[in-house]
């Protein structure tokens, strides 16, 4: 986006209503704004989309009263909602295709504009792993990087603690009123003195298992690169590494003993081509060329004056049927749906949008979709 524009208070409430409505995720939010020109028109279109998508019952649409209550409660806690495309929205995060339309931020907004590096790893970390994470975070902080992590025990907490003065960013799996783990409330308060905490969830949202991968995509999305210090073969840190690769971020791994299960994941990443890290200089050398490049940002900003419009395609019933017939529980590429249904991309996108608002579609990475 060439020029950032701030949302009006009315638009911010409309955006909050839309993203808090059932079956509207970040990608769907963007599609709706693109089709209808603004959040208010999209809200008005939701019942019709759900009906055409075959919804068995009317999906919940967030009311203006509920949005006003959440916004007021958030501001009372010192939480601001940053809209995608606004000046303070983290620039790297804005690049990913499922960036949160509204990001709830508490703390120092300026830290979000710094070059950021994520450091994550095992909750059950070894003493050596904790010591290395501390040294790495300290040296990267001294070099001007803000440090991003997930407020978890072990490696995350170690990275946060030594970067309090240089700028730490904690990415929360739940809302700002439901800190996880609860024992890190004091650590979070220390982070907020010079850093920030971010969440895309409602203020009182209690994190559930599937919220952690959602959180992890924000950790990698904020950052130039992700350093994995320790990770078992199946761990959340490896999910973060995978998401970082999908987002075009640099993936770094710290080698460990083949006898330590906590090193199986990191050693595996090195075999797959991750950059080996034994000191902060390894990270800095890989990221300096990236920092010199400009960032081309997508636009999700609605116009200052929004006018109700129509989707750029209105599927006929036979076209809708052909697209739906090609879907099933196995993820399918959207490009394949276009080719095999013998319809236009616009028709396929519209049918998928209808199904998603009806709660019948699941989106996967890599432009894959499946029928629920």
pLDDT for the residue 315: 86
pLDDT for the residue 59: 82
pLDDT for the residue 1: 37
pLDDT for the residue 306: 41
Report the mean per-residue pLDDT for the chain: 91
Query: Once rounded to an integer, what is the mean pLDDT over residues 17-27?
Result: 95
pLDDT for the residue 310: 46
The token pair at 218 is: 């924000």
Confidence of residue 366 (pLDDT cuts 50, 70, 90): confident
pLDDT for the residue 298: 52
Confidence of residue 294 (pLDDT cuts 50, 70, 90): low
pLDDT for the residue 3: 53
pLDDT for the residue 196: 98
Per-range mean pLDDT, top range of 4-8, 146-150, 330-334: 146-150
pLDDT for the residue 364: 84
Please report, for residues 209, 300, 320, 345, the alpha-carbon distance to residue 335 in angstroms, rounded to integers and kept in the order given.
31, 23, 16, 8
Which residues have a Cβ under 8 Å from the Cβ of 240 and sit 6 or more positions away? 118, 120, 216, 219, 220, 226, 228
Please report, for residues 125, 138, 353, the alpha-carbon distance to residue 144 in angstroms, rounded to integers and kept in the order given.
26, 10, 42
Q: What is the pTM of this model?
A: 0.90
pLDDT for the residue 302: 55
pLDDT for the residue 2: 39
- Model confidence at 22: pLDDT above 90: yes
Confidence of residue 233 (pLDDT cuts 50, 70, 90): confident
The closest of 46, 50, 77 to 63, measured between CA atoms, is 46
Instruction: Write the pLDDT tens digit of every residue in 310-323.
Output: 455 678 888 899 99
- Model confidence at 114: pLDDT above 70: yes
Query: Once rounded to an integer, what is the mean pLDDT over residues 157-173?
Result: 96
Helical ranges in the chain per DSSP H: 9-19, 26-36, 39-52, 64-76, 127-142, 155-162, 185-192, 211-222, 236-246, 264-271, 280-291, 317-325, 334-341, 345-357
């Amino acid at each position: 986006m060439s020029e950032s524009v701030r949302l009006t208070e009315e638009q911010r409430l409309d955006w909050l209503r839309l993203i808090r409505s059932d079956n509207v995720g970040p990608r769907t939010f963007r599609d709706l704004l693109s089709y209808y020109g603004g959040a208010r028109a999209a809200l008005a279109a939701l019942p019709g989309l759900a009906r055409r998508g075959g919804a068995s019952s009317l999906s919940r649409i967030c009311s203006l009263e509920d949005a006003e209550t959440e916004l007021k409660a958030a501001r009372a806690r010192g939480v601001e909602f940053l809209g995608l495309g606004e000046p303070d929205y983290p620039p790297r995060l804005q690049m990913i295709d499922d960036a949160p339309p509204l990001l709830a931020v508490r703390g120092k907004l300026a830290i979000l504009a710094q070059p950021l590096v994520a450091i994550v790893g095992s909750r059950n970390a070894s003493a050596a792993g904790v010591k290395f994470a501390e040294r790495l975070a300290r040296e990267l902080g001294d070099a001007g990087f803000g440090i991003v992590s997930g407020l978890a025990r072990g490696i995350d907490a170690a990275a946060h603690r030594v970067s309090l003065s240089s700028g730490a960013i904690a990415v929360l799996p739940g809302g700002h009123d439901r800190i996880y783990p609860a024992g890190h409330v004091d650590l979070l308060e220390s982070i907020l003195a010079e850093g920030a905490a971010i969440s895309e969830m409602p203020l009182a949202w209690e994190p559930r298992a599937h919220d952690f991968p959602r959180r992890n995509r924000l950790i990698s999305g904020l950052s130039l690169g992700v350093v994995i210090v320790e990770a078992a073969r199946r761990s959340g840190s490896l999910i973060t590494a995978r998401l970082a690769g999908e987002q075009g971020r640099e993936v770094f791994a710290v080698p460990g003993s083949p006898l330590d299960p906590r090193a199986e994941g990191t050693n595996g990443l090195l075999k797959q081509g991750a950059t080996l890290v034994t000191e902060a200089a390894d990270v800095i050398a890989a990221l300096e060329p990236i920092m010199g490049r400009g960032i081309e940002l997508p636009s999700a900003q609605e116009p200052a004056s929004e006018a109700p419009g129509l989707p750029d395609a209105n599927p006929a019933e036979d076209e809708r049927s052909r697209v739906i017939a090609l879907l099933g529980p196995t993820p399918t590429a959207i490009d394949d749906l276009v080719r095999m249904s013998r319809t236009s991309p616009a028709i396929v996108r519209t049918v998928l949008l209808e199904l998603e608002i009806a709660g019948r579609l699941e989106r996967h990475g890599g432009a894959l979709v499946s029928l629920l």
